[in-house]
Structure 1
Amino acid sequence: MITAVPLSQHSAIFSWLISLTTFLFFSISFLSFKSHQAMALSPSSNADRDALLALKEWVAEDPDGALNSWNESLHFCSWEGVSCSRRHLNRVVALNLGGRHLGGSLPPHIGNLTFLRVILLQNNAFGGNIPQEIGRLVQLEYLNLSGNVLEGEIPNNLSRCLNLRSINLMRNRLVGKVPYDLSNLASGNLINFSVSTNNLTGNIPSWLENFSSLQFISMMENNLKGSIPNELGKLKNLRHLQLSINSLSGKVPPPIYNITSLLHLSLAENQLHGTIPDDIGQTLPNLLGLYMGSNNFTGPMPLSFPNASGLVQLDLTGNSFSGTLPLNLGSLKSVLDIALGRNPFEPQDLRFLTSLNNSSSLQWLDVSNSNFRGDLPSSIGNLSSTFQTLFAGDNQISGAIPSGIGNLISLTQLALNGNSIEGEIPASIAKPTMLQILLLSGNRISGAIPTSIGNMTQLWKLYLDNNYLTGSLPRSLGNCKNLQLLDLSHNFLSGIIPKEIARLPSISIAFNLYHNSFTGPLPLDVAKRLWRSHHNNELALLADKSPAVPLLDAVALIGEVAIALGIQSEHSATLQVRVSIARTWRKRA
């Protein structure tokens, strides 16, 4: 089964963060300009220098030499990553050491940098607890400690930093509840509260309703439980609400759907239920991304989605939506990803695919396991020239694969497995030369494997098993140098295995030819390679004696893939290679 997740799920959010980072860059540059003037006006005060030196002492790893300049030969306002103020002579106002691969701990001395307004230490390897002394930084506005390995709880004393505008603690190992003391920050102008990808527990704080300036709440990938507070609906400036991958339950409060400023609503992978309001497109007209997959939502899909004309990503996979897909989805001109798989929609044909021809930016479509039936329309070839992924497996699709599929020149993943598709594999299927994954298993496809398949040089996963394929393997398949997973089992293929295929460098990862009618020798180097790689695979060999590598010089494939060990003709075996640890060989050794 294919589990599809839109590839660009949070790109727009990252754009917003980039804008914030750009703002900080210019702010810090301006502060840095001020610092040089400060040095000319007054001698250094020791308080901030000593605090910085303590930080350096607590840094155990500095592979890039980011702190090499932190020595007595330079004024500390000229140290890398340090910015000082002009108004308050020789006082550090910004510390920017993000992404410098620093390791160690944050010392309590950081609390002595009492004029700090900006701390950017993201994407390093700082561990230990966030020091409580950070609460002494009453002028702090921007705190970014994301992408470290910090542990313990969010310090209560952070509530004393009443000027905070952005708190970013994402991607750490923080535990415990969001401290109630942080509610004291409501009197300020907090814009961003990001604590995603930690181990936080408890409920989503209802007191967040008092943060009227909040634009960004990110609490996804934690262990939060309970319901989404109704009070969040009062945040009329909120643009991004990310609560995915928790254990939240209950219904989505109706006020959430009335936050007209929302750009992204991310609730996927929880235990939420209920229906989506019919008028969601009108009440959330600025929506760019809606992520509600892997929950227990029911009811029909709203017809009003096109009213959110800027919608870029729509993920409703893995729910219990019913009814039919609205044909007006094609009105979404800007949509990149549509993921609707694993929903019990009413039986329907694939006419809605034709409507998507108007979605000129579409790149990703998942309608797998959604009760679709009928033929694939020829209009599938008219989808966006940038279209990359189609997951339509485990449906009841019939008919032949349209030759127009070759018009999708940007296609990288095509999954039509588990249907009732008939006819031959069209030669045009190889026109998208960037195709990496092709899954056609479990259909009624007949005829020969087209020689054009060798044009897909980026292919690494090819599943054609459980069909009615005949003929021999095309030598051109040997051009697919990246091929790692090849399953041709349960067909009617015959002839020899061409040496061009057998010598593919990584094909032994998963090479399944079970239940065909191959004959002739298997090249010696392949047999040796399979023998040498047995520790990465499962080789079930039904032989009385264990072969030594020198004896693998006569390999015959008769019916199922059988190995004649060169001892006696009756010493044959069934060879099945899959990704797991081989124990059968070791027992016989």
Structure 2
Amino acid sequence: MAQKCGRPDATWGDGWSCSSSNRSGNETDRAALLAFKHAVLGSPAGPLSSWNDSLPLCQWQGVSCLPRRAGRVTALSLASPGLAGSIPPAISNLTFLSSLELSDNGLIGSIPPSIGGMHCLCRLDLSGNQLGGAIPGEAGVLLTNMTHLDLSRNLLVGHIPSELGRLAALVDLNLSQNHLTGSIPPSLAALSSLQSINLASNILTGTIPPSLFANLMALVMFTVKFNNLRGSLPEEIGQSRSLQSIVAALNNHARKLPASIYNLTFLGKIELSYNSFTTLLPDIGDLLPHLYFLSMFENKLTEGVPVSLGNASAMHLINLGENNLVGLMPANLGVLRDLAHLSLSVNMLHVQVANLSRELVWLSFEDNRISGTIPSGISKLAGLATLRFQVNNFSGAIPESVGLLTNMVDFLVFGNRLTGTIPLLLGNLTKLTQLELSENQLVGEVPPSLAGCRSLAYLSVVGNRLTGTIPPRIFTIRAMSYILNMLNNLLSGELSAEVGHLQSLQTLDLANNRLTGAIPGTISQCQMLQRLDLHGNMFTGGVSLSTFGALKGLKELDMSGKNLSGEFPRFLQDLQYSQVLNLSFNCLAGEVPVKGVFANATAELHRKVSYMELSNATNGFSSGNLIGAGSHGSVYQGTMLQEDGAELAVAVKVFGLRQQRGALATFVAECEALRHVRHRNLARILTVCDSVDSKGADFKALVYGYMPNGSLERWLHPEPGEDEDDDSGTLTLVQRLNAAVDVALVLDYLHNDCEVPIVHCDLKPSNVLLDDDMVARVGDFGLASSLVLMGSIGYIAPEYGMGGQACASGDVYSYGILLLEMLTGKTATDAVFRDGLTLARFVGEAANSGGVGGVLFVADPRLVSAGRNRPLVQRAAQERCLVSVARIGVSCASELPMERPGMKQVANEMAKLRASLVDRPAPRLPHGHITTVRI
């Protein structure tokens, strides 16, 4: 039955408060409903199928009537039945209607102004459709009984009508997730009964009218997050003494919380995440005794955590992550006995862990500068389920007492300086689903006791100094369904046949160890494997069909090394999902297959080409074929004939041996670099031409596969007039992230995984090419290993200009500039960058002073405008992503080499960042596990 609503001075005898001049029977209602049925296009078998003469209209699905008013329709509720079409003006003939709910359908068109004539209407919910146009002002003038108005999650445009201030009975107003512009009308302050206002995710500008908080004494919830509002919270907010929750994630330039917030003595929840606030009020815990929820995630807080926070006795959750907090964490946080979630991640704290509540469930200090040891007393946190200490400066051993935290689900301590062995007692953690010990200095053997972690789905010990054999018992953890990664250790011995028990595992990475013997045939039982990396070991024997042919879902297989023998495994061409295959540096013999993953592979025994063949392919190296020129040569587009007669598009890089100094050394350096590298994100070299031209002069050229999508520079900086009215010429955020990850992966490979580490020395957008699938491939190794000035202006590391030697950190600097160029759309040599202002400093200052808003201000407008059309959750994720891109780019482009991260860390961060924005398979965790959600 519809909700009773309205004013007591206009009641009917049955308790309904409404008046109407139309009481001519329900034939008018019937005609209005049939007009509605005709206008919306539901499924023939849908809810409107009952709207026919076989039933009285009061029995039609979604229709409610008031019998004592001659069977007039009083409510229409059709939420989520799959309706399309538009709302007809005739719906206003339902003059006794008090509730209209059409949420979560596919309705289009505009809201008919005639809806304002429905004088009895007190609840209107049209949320979750595709309605456009403006909000009719008539709704505010005539719907005087309205108590609930929800038009959220549509495509509405224009201003918020000031007439809505006449809805004197309104309790709940929700206009979020539209495209509304203009300012918040001060007339809303007249709605004295209003308890909730939600205007989030629009394009509102201006400031918050002070009168809202001065007059709306019943207000419980106020949210305007993700707009373009400016200023700070009005001082008048303190006059709204009954306010229980402020969800005001203002995307503006506010700097500090107003002191008048202390007047909200009943305030229980403060959520001000994703802003630019720089100050947390020092007495917040003393003067807000009922505060139980404080979240200021991703602001610009710079001072320490206030000691008074330890006096907030009702506190349940504290999230001050992703700020710039420094100094001491108050020891008195340990007296907060109700505290269950504490996150101070991504700050600059330098302190050890304080005594905390025994009731704590979530503890996150990730990505800080916390030093010292993990205290053995941490075992007192008996309720702890999530512990995240990754990317800090923790040293010393992992205390055995961690094994007493039997409720632990996630234990992440990677990226520290931990030493000693892996504690045996970790095997007691039967609820543990994620164990991440990577990138530390752990020694000793992998303890067999870890098999006691029967819920473990993810285990990584990458980049330590672990020795001994891999315990067979590890492979008996049947819950291991996501990742088992022991890359870059000193593990030895044979791979146990017990590995076949990991039948649900998706990724197995044992690369760069000292494993020997044959690869066990039981690995064929790992039916869910998608990625298998065994390279850099000393395995012997062959690659058999019985072992690998059964792995039908395998996408990546790397067994490069030195000792595999036998016939080349032709059956690998039948793995239909295979994308990456590396069997290099072995002793395999026989013919390489030509189907499946091999169909697009080019032969490694390069066909020799002559000067004349390349001249014919490029129309005599004509200017019409010229597609690029650099400091050591020119690049021409051409078409060559293959041995089977088919045409092949190529890019021919001709070195200017006579015109350009250092060209010969560059040719030699690039050939030497390309001889040692194999990576999917490197430009595909086809062959080399070392000959003489038609005049008898030396001629040297490299022939690459032609990249039809050109360089990254072309996409970031199109020619004037190009693609101005065509969004298809703009790279999306996901496409830019894909390119950034591709480049990061190849630099990580060059720096860390080549037999002889290689420094590129000239990374810039013109040297990043995009193939048919928009996969980025890095080319131009002309400066690698050379002794000349290394790099291009704007991208060259500062230390190179002072005579510094080529090093990996120089490539990191260039990558940071490249990343910031993708973020901002500005070249590193833009005219705005002068008088000491660089691209890195430009983005860094904007991010430090403006937070999310600052980053959006300097971001490429094409990215920002595209993001505004996204739903709330997607838009928030994209804006967080842009901030992270800015942070990583600025860090990579630090002036001092020692402050730059390594490319392996950068590649990992960029991959995780992309995964946060793009749907990826999630780990399948055991039934009954505790999932962790970052608040």
Question: What does 1:24-43 correspond to in 2, within 5 Å?
Answer: none
- Which residue in 2 is equivalent to 1:124? 105
Answer yes or no: is 1:566 the counterpart of 2:590: yes
Q: CA deviation at 1:345?
A: 1.0
Q: After superposition, where does 1:449-460 map in structure 2 within 5 Å?
A: 449-453=470-474, 454-460=476-482
Tell me which moved more, 410-419 or 571-580: 571-580
Residues 551 and 502 (structure 1 numbering): CA distance in 2 closer, same or farther, change over 3 Å?
A: closer
Q: Which runs of 5+ in 1 are unaligned?
A: 1-23, 36-41
Residue number in structure 2 paired with 1:349: 372
Cα deviation, residue 94, structure 1: 3.0
Which residue number in structure 1 is paired with residue 466 of structure 2?
A: 445
User: Which position in structure 2 is the counterpart of 1:484?
Assistant: 506
Q: Secondary structure at the match of 2:35?
A: helix
SS at match of 1:103: coil
* Residue 517 of structure 2 corresponds to residue 495 of structure 1: yes
Q: Which residue in 1 is equivalent to 2:416?
A: 395
Structure-2 change in CA distance of 1:306 and 1:95 (3 Å): farther
Paired letter, 1:434: S
Letter in 2 for 1:191: Q
What residue identity is the alignment partner of 2:307? L
Change (3 A) 1:187 1:512: same
Contact 2:390 2:413 in 1 (8 A): yes
Structure 1 SS opposite 2:32: helix
Does the CA contact (< 8 Å) of 1:164 and 1:188 recur in 2?
no
**Alignment equivalent of 2:438, drawn from 410, 417, 421:** 417
The alignment's C-alpha RMSD in Å is: 4.5
1:318 aligns with 2:322: yes
- How does 1:241-256 map onto structure 2 within 5 Å? 241-244=246-249, 246=251, 249-256=254-261
Secondary structure of the structure 2 residue equivalent to 1:251 = coil
Given the alignment of the two structures, is residue 513 of structure 1 paired with residue 534 of structure 2, yes or no? Answer: yes
Give deviations 1:204-262, integer Å, cap 9, x for gaps: 63353233222123444x34342442244443333333344845543333434653434
Offset of residue 366 of structure 1: 3.3
1:362-401 correspondence to structure 2 within 5 Å: 362-383=384-405, 385=407, 387-401=408-422
Q: Tell me: CA distance 1:356–1:478, structure 2 relative to 1, closer, same or farther (3 Å).
A: same
The alpha-carbon deviation at position 273 of structure 1 amounts to 3.0
> Please, which of 486, 489, 505 is the counterpart of residue 464 of structure 1?
486
Distance 1:116 1:181 in 2: 28
Change (3 A) 1:305 1:504: farther
- The structure-2 alpha-carbon separation of the partners of 1:59 and 1:416, relative to structure 1 and needing over 3 Å to count, comes to farther
Structure 1 contact 467–491 (Cα < 8 Å) conserved? yes
- The alignment status of 1:436 with 2:457, answered yes or no, reads yes
Tell me the amino acid that sits aligned with residue 457 of structure 1.
A
Larger RCO, structure (CA 8 Å, separation 6 or more): 1
Which amino acid is 1:96 matched to?
A: S
- Counterpart of 2:319 in structure 1: which amino acid? D
Change (3 A) 1:565 1:163: farther
Equivalence for 1:96: 77
**Equivalence for 2:242:** 237
Contact 1:167 1:192 (8 Å CA) reproduced: no
Structure 2, unmatched stretches of 5+, are 6-11, 17-22, 156-177, 351-369, 562-567, 575-580, 593-602, 606-675, 682-740, 743-770, 778-935
1:430-452 CA deviation, whole Å, 9 max, x = no partner? Answer: 43333333333233333333333
Shift of the 64–436 alpha-carbon distance from structure 1 to 2, 3 Å rule, reads farther
> What is the CA-CA distance between 1:460 and the residue it aligns to?
0.8
Distance 1:402 1:422, change over 3 A: same
The 3 A distance-change label for structure 1 pair 142 and 327 is: farther
Q: Aligned residue for 1:473?
A: 495
Distance change (3 Å), C-alpha of 1:233 and 1:204:
farther
Check the 8 A contact 1:165/1:191 in 2, yes or no: no
The alpha-carbon deviation at position 344 of structure 1 amounts to 1.4
| Cα distance change on mapping 1:223 and 1:49 into 2, 3 Å | same
- Looking at structure 2, the residues matched to 223 and 540 of structure 1 have their Cα atoms a distance apart, in angstroms, of 51
Match 1:52 to one of 19, 33, 44: 33
- Give the conservation status (yes or no) of the 8 Å contact 2:29–2:94: yes
Select between 80-89 and 339-348 the one with higher mean Cα deviation: 80-89
Offset of 1:353 from its aligned partner? 8.1
- Counterpart position of 2:730: none
Aligned partners of 1:540 and 1:576 also within 8 Å: no
| Closer/same/farther in 2, CA of residues 423 and 344 from structure 1, 3 Å limit | farther
Q: Which residue is equivalent to 1:293?
A: 297
Q: Offset of 1:521 from its aligned partner?
A: 2.4
Letter paired with 1:466? N
- Offset at 1:468? 2.9
* Counterpart secondary structure, 2:246: strand
Match of 2:306 in 1: 302
Q: In the aligned structure 2, how far is the partner of 1:56 from the partner of 1:181?
A: 36
1:80 aligned onto 2:61: yes
Deviation at 1:274, TM superposition (A): 1.3
Q: How does 1:510-549 map to 2 (within 5 A)?
A: 510-524=531-545, 549=570
Among 86, 105, 113, which residue is 1:105 paired with? Answer: 86
Deviations 1:344-368 (A, max 9, x none): 11033355784584463x4434333
- Counterpart of 1:205 in structure 2 is 208
| d(CA) in 1 for partners of 2:306, 2:678 | 51
Aligned length: 538
Residue by residue, what CA displacement relative to the aligned partner does 1:168-210 show, whole Å, maximum 9, x if unpaired? Answer: 44444410237645834732422223344x4434256335323
Alpha-carbon spacing, 1:384–1:467, altered in 2? closer, same or farther (3 Å): same
TM-score normalised by structure 2 residue count: 0.50
Query: In structure 1, what is the Cα distance between the partners aligned to 2:586 and 2:238?
Result: 66
Please report how far the alpha carbon of residue 424 of structure 1 lies from its aligned counterpart in structure 2 after TM superposition. Answer: 3.1
Contact in 2 for aligned 1:381/1:407 (Cα 8 Å) = yes
Match of 2:564 in 1: none
Structure 1 residue 215 and structure 2 residue 236: aligned?
no
The 1-side partners of 2:492 and 2:108 are apart by 60
